[in-house]
Structures are given as structure tokens and as C-alpha cells.
Amino acid sequence: MVKVSVRVYSGATNFEVAVRAESIRRAVNLVAGRYANGDVQVKFPIDPEGFFVEDPTARVGMVEAEHPVGITA
């Protein structure tokens, strides 16, 4: 299992969501399904220390939603 940050651009706002999933592709698909009207992109660079999730009790899904990163007019 991996953990990546995914940035969502939706209208005038954008924000990041941390996601745990079986793969980077699955993480992007999970977020894209939740925010269907937004543009979803993996945030690079990926943190190498937090990339692999070794906790056997960790669940697949969004971990945390962060406050909007920026607002454009």
C-alpha cells in the first residue's frame, strides 16, 4: 500500500488530499471519483519516507483533506 498527496483543482479553488491505496493510479481514481468535476493530479515530488504504508491495519481511502492551497480569481 502507498500514500500520496493528490491535488484537486475545482473551479476557483484547489486543495490537497492524502490518500492510501494499492497504487498511485488507484489513489488518483479514488479522488477523481469523489471530486468528479475537478481536475485531479498527483503532487510531486512524492515523499519517499511516507510513500510505503507498512501498517497492517491501514485502510484504503482518503486520509486527510487539507485546507485550500490557493484561490484564483
8 A C-beta contact, residue 72 and residue 12: yes
Predicted pLDDT of residue 27: 94
Q: In the predicted model, what is the mean pLDDT of the chain? A: 83
Geometric angle at alpha carbon 10, from 71 and 44, rounded to 5° = 80
Average pLDDT over every residue of 7-25: 91
Whether residue 8 is predicted with pLDDT greater than 90 in this model: the reply is yes
Query: Residue 58 and residue 1: Cα distance in Å, rounded?
Result: 9
CA torsion angle for 32, 23, 62, 54 (degrees, to 10)? 180
Domain ranges of the chain: 2-71
pLDDT at position 68 over 70: no
Res 23 pLDDT > 90: yes
